């Protein structure tokens, strides 16, 4: 049985052949089986060499995930479940979430705006009031 391709979104899919799996023993709950079962999962995806994404999306993802990559390879670890199968599912979901966030287009640039006259007046009034309170404290301490 071959693993199915992994959908990133409705247009982009990662071929199953580009995903690498490593398994090891996980710490945590598991009873007697914890020392014998390889339930910890590492999902390895070579982002720098993938053909699943167009070049501009691949470059965007490489730039945004640069801190997580080792030589262009992204490794996602899952060990929260007792079952290897559930950890595999969790690792795939985590990889998809990371890639979706990484290939998302950048937000539109912020348009600079001026503060309204009312907000400026409120800010200055509050500053004057606060300064007045501090001025009164200073006068009291000099007298006493």
Please write the tens of the pLDDT for every residue from 89-121: 999 999 999 999 999 999 999 999 999 999 999
Contact at 8 Å (CB) between 82 and 30?
yes
Helix residue spans in 32-116 (DSSP H): 55-64, 84-103
User: What was the pLDDT predicted at 30?
Assistant: 60
What percentage of the chain exceeds 70 in pLDDT?
A: 88
Positions of E strands within the chain:
6-7, 13-14, 19-24, 40-46, 73-78
Q: pLDDT by residue (tens digit) across 51-97? A: 888 999 999 999 999 999 899 899 999 988 888 899 999 999 999 99
Helix (H) or strand (E) holding 133: helix 117-143
pTM: 0.70
Q: What's the rounded Cα separation, in Å, for the pair 37 and 136?
A: 72
Q: Which residue has the tokens 């799996």?
A: 21
């Amino acid at each position: 049985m071959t693993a199915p391709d992994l959908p990133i979104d409705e247009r982009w899919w990662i071929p199953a052949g580009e995903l690498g799996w490593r398994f090891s023993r996980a710490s945590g709950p598991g009873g007697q089986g914890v020392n014998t079962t390889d339930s910890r999962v590492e999902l390895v995806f070579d982002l720098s060499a993938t053909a699943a994404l167009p070049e501009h999306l691949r470059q965007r993802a490489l730039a945004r995930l640069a801190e997580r990559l080792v030589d262009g390879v992204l490794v996602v670890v899952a060990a929260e479940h007792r079952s290897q199968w559930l950890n595999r599912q969790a690792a795939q979901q985590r990889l998809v979430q990371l890639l979706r966030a990484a290939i998302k287009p950048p937000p539109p640039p912020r348009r600079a705006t001026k503060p309204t006259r009312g907000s400026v007046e409120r800010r200055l009034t509050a500053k004057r009031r606060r300064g007045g309170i501090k001025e009164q404290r200073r006068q009291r301490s000099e007298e006493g």
